[in-house]
Amino acid sequence: MTETSLDEALQSLRTAVAEEDMGAVVGQTRALFRREDLNDEASRLRAFTALATVADFLGDPTLPGPLAELTRSSLWQRIRRARPRVEAWFAVGQACHDVGLPDAALVALRAAYDRAPEVPAVVSGLVQALGDCDRHAEALAVLDACPIEGDAFLNFLHAFHALHAGRIEAARALAARLDHDGDLRELSGRIVRSLARVDAVQSLPGALDSYDLRGWHFVHSGGVLLHLSPHGEEEMRGRYAFFQQNPSTLRMGIERMARALRGLGLAPSRILHTASEPSQTLALALGRRLRVPVEPIAGAQDGLLVTYDTSDLADGSMDLLLSRGAIRWWNHSQDWTGDQGTAPDFVTLLVQRDTPPWAEQMTVDPDTGKVVMAAPPVRSPAEWAEAILTAEIDESVHPRDDDAGFDAFVGAARRALPARGEGTRQADYFWPGAGTVPSGRFD
């Protein structure tokens, strides 16, 4: 396919705005800022002037607050009058980052870096923007070229991006320069723990290559990934872009969860749930499967917390989880593009867009052959738990790896579990994006 020129890309965006086609406006804006030829002052200014047009089209009521404020600021006017300084480019980049426009942030922060490659804040802003766009090797190259030994945060970023670029030995060398006792000791500790997890699983067949999603998920987050998608192995490498769940897929997750607990030598005394019905449903099913009591998390000091997805923590249960180190956490469906923060100890699958069985689902009308939305059954959590436990596991969604391969991984991962006295949660932090294992995704 022939690459469009910048003029053509800008015209396509103007046409989408003129036609008030919201989907096209969003798609054309993202495509514009992913272009490789936005590498000089003139092209960058043209792109951001177009972004201002998009902001005007969207209007303040629908525009994210920080971006609305940005488009009214003197910094933005400097961009529009083609008189930006490094401070303006840096502020624009940070604002775009804050409202979820990583590609636009990257273009602005590259402009700031071109003017001030010696300023640590500019360097860290650029490499973080590169990381947000899953361009860890480029971030590593920027840091390799930067004299940063005396800057503790840049040293952390250097080791972090080396690890996320798959450069394990470089990350080991860089870890020796980290600040392990000062203000950044928690960030440094993440690198140290990640390298310990590398040591635990690196000897497994095929470990930590560019297809080993389970291995790299464990290294980066400390969590055990229970299921690898068997579909689109080259494109998705174990993740899902879209997944429509049913009792069978939840039964698969419960069986793998039970298998993981056995392999890790863990026997939770109770299964915990939040106030949400999906959390209660899975907790009831797993509790019956393991034959242990099921309780609300409030008041519990230990056990295994079960959630369908991270929205089940909206009632404040995350604070309880973080304050009680003896509680582990299994999250069935993890959004690998958006979820960020404390990593679950166990994740069934990584998916970008998930439809649970208790939501409307797409199905084919047998009479018309057309795709329609079907209402889900109305069931209580106990009734859903019963449906899950009596469901047959659908062979089409079985994990790509066999039980023996999964057991070998769990046995290796067990070596990296925290020692007594360090708390029992093994997971660390969930970094959204493809990371070390590339993947297709929806825009």
What's 164's domain CATH number?
Answer: 1.25.40
The backbone torsions φ and ψ at residue 29, rounded to the nearest 5 degrees and listed phi first, read -65, -45
Q: Are residues 171 and 259 in the same domain?
A: no
Cβ neighbourhood burial of 24 (10 Å; 0-12, 13-18, 19+) = middle
pLDDT at residue 398 is higher than 80: no
Give the three-state DSSP class for 307: strand
Q: Alpha-carbon torsion 373, 377, 380, 383, what sign?
A: negative
Specify the pTM.
0.87
How far apart CA 117 and CA 355 sit, in angstroms, is: 45
How far apart CA 26 and CA 268 sit, in angstroms, is: 46
Q: Which residue has the tokens 């825009």?
A: 443
Expressed as residue numbers, the domain containing 361 is: 221-430
**Which of 186-195, 282-291, 423-432 is least confident?**
423-432
* Average per-residue pLDDT for the chain: 87
Q: Are residues 177 and 246 in the same domain?
A: no
In 3D, which of 281, 289, 284, 336 has the Cα closest to residue 310?
A: 336
In 3D, which of 108, 116, 98 has the Cα closest to residue 78?
A: 108
Q: Are residues 355 and 276 in the same domain?
A: yes
Identity (one letter) of the amino acid at 19?
Answer: E
Indicate whether 202 belongs to any domain. Answer: no
Long-range contact pairs involving 122-130 (C-beta distance under 8 Å, separation at least 24): 122/86, 122/90, 123/148, 123/154, 124/153, 124/154, 124/157, 125/90, 125/93, 125/94, 125/97, 127/157, 127/161, 128/97, 128/157, 129/93, 129/97, 129/102, 129/105, 130/106, 130/161
How far apart CA 201 and CA 5 sit, in angstroms, is: 46
* Res 74: pLDDT: 60
Predicted confidence (pLDDT) per residue in 402-429, tens digit: 889 999 999 999 998 865 434 466 678 8
In 3D, which of 166, 253, 177 has the Cα closest to residue 210?
A: 166
Q: How many domains does the chain have?
A: 2
A 10 A CB-CB count for 174 gives 23
How far apart CA 151 and CA 188 sit, in angstroms, is: 13
How far apart CA 27 and CA 16 sit, in angstroms, is: 10
Inter-helix orientation angle 185-201/168-175, to 10°: 140
A 10 A CB-CB count for 299 gives 8
**Which of 110-124, 229-243, 422-436 is least confident?**
422-436
Indicate whether 124 belongs to any domain. Answer: yes
What would the mean pLDDT of 24-30 be, rounded to a whole number? 82
Q: Are residues 188 and 322 in the same domain?
A: no
Q: Which residue has the tokens 């000091």?
A: 301
In terms of residues, how long is the chain? 443
90's tokens: 């840096």
pLDDT at residue 396 is higher than 80: no
Indicate whether 203 belongs to any domain. Answer: no
More confident residue, 89 or 220: 220
How far apart CA 419 and CA 99 sit, in angstroms, is: 40
* Res 318: pLDDT: 87
Q: Are residues 177 and 240 in the same domain?
A: no
pLDDT band per the 50, 70, 90 thresholds, residue 267:
very high
Q: Are residues 409 and 294 in the same domain?
A: yes
Q: Are residues 191 and 270 in the same domain?
A: no
Most confident of 27-41, 50-64, 239-253, 427-441: 239-253
In 3D, which of 398, 400, 391, 399 has the Cα closest to residue 251?
A: 391
More confident residue, 276 or 2: 276
Q: Are residues 251 and 106 in the same domain?
A: no
252 neighbors 290 (Cβ within 8 angstroms): no
Give the three-state DSSP class for 312: helix
Last residue of a domain, one of 164, 197, 230: 197
Cβ neighbourhood burial of 146 (10 Å; 0-12, 13-18, 19+) = buried
Predicted confidence (pLDDT) per residue in 36-60, tens digit: 899 888 888 888 878 777 766 665 4
Q: Are residues 397 and 272 in the same domain?
A: yes
Q: Are residues 143 and 69 in the same domain?
A: yes
Q: Are residues 400 and 270 in the same domain?
A: yes
Residues in contact with 63: Cβ distance below 8 Å, sequence separation at least 6, in sequence order: 55, 71
CATH assignment of the domain containing 344: 3.40.50.2020
Last residue of a domain, one of 182, 197, 212: 197
In 3D, which of 407, 406, 394, 352 has the Cα closest to residue 239?
A: 352
Q: Are residues 193 and 227 in the same domain?
A: no
321's tokens: 């989880």
* Res 2: pLDDT: 46
Indicate whether 210 belongs to any domain. Answer: no
Indicate whether 359 belongs to any domain. Answer: yes
284's tokens: 């009831």
